[in-house]
Amino acid sequence: MNNLKRTCVAALCAVPVLVGVKASAHHAFGAEFDPNRPLILRGPVVKIEWTNPHAWFHIEHTNEDGTKTVWMVEAGTPNTLLRRGIHRNSVPIGTQVVVDGYQSKDLSMRANGRNMTFANGQTMFMGSSGTGAPRDGADPTEGATADEQKKLDAAKEADSEKEKE
């Protein structure tokens, strides 16, 4: 009994340490950004911070009333962006882009970027994977959304039914 008690205490002592080490890769989407506030920003890139662990694109968006607002859009790491084909010299200041993403929870002019589309139609996923962001299809590594998966499963089942007949 005494041994059991001691083991339990030891396990409890270790829990905060384990939790702290485990959660090391990303900071969670939900802590800062609101999945219910999707937005689309159009305009020139006015500044880029190529910093770790997240790059930040500053985009001057033109509002409906003609006024302009500069938004800070969070992207993946410089390394992630390089692997998707863009580096610091490939997006000159002034490049016209369309960015869709989600606004920050504190309603400041910040957003979590998802897709960035260039004037030639090229689209790039600019965010980080595995952060718990909505499965909106922007991240090519996340696989099918729940709805898409349901449709895929239904189609598969229909196929196997046909084969039986």
Q: How far is the CB of 90 from other proteins (least distance, A)?
A: 14
Chain residues that interact with other proteins, rule: CB under 8 A = 6-7, 9-10, 13-14, 16-17, 19-21, 23-24, 27, 31-32, 50-53, 77-79, 82, 88, 106, 108
DSSP state, residue 69: E
In the complex with other proteins, which residue's Cβ is closer, 3 or 36? 3
How many helices, marked H, and strands, marked E, lie in the chain? 4, 6
Under 8 Å between Cβ of 66 and 56: no
Q: How far is the CB of 35 from other proteins (least distance, A)?
A: 17
Under 8 Å between Cβ of 10 and 42: no
Q: How far is the CB of 6 from other proteins (least distance, A)?
A: 5
In the complex with other proteins, which residue's Cβ is closer, 5 or 162? 5
Under 8 Å between Cβ of 73 and 56: yes
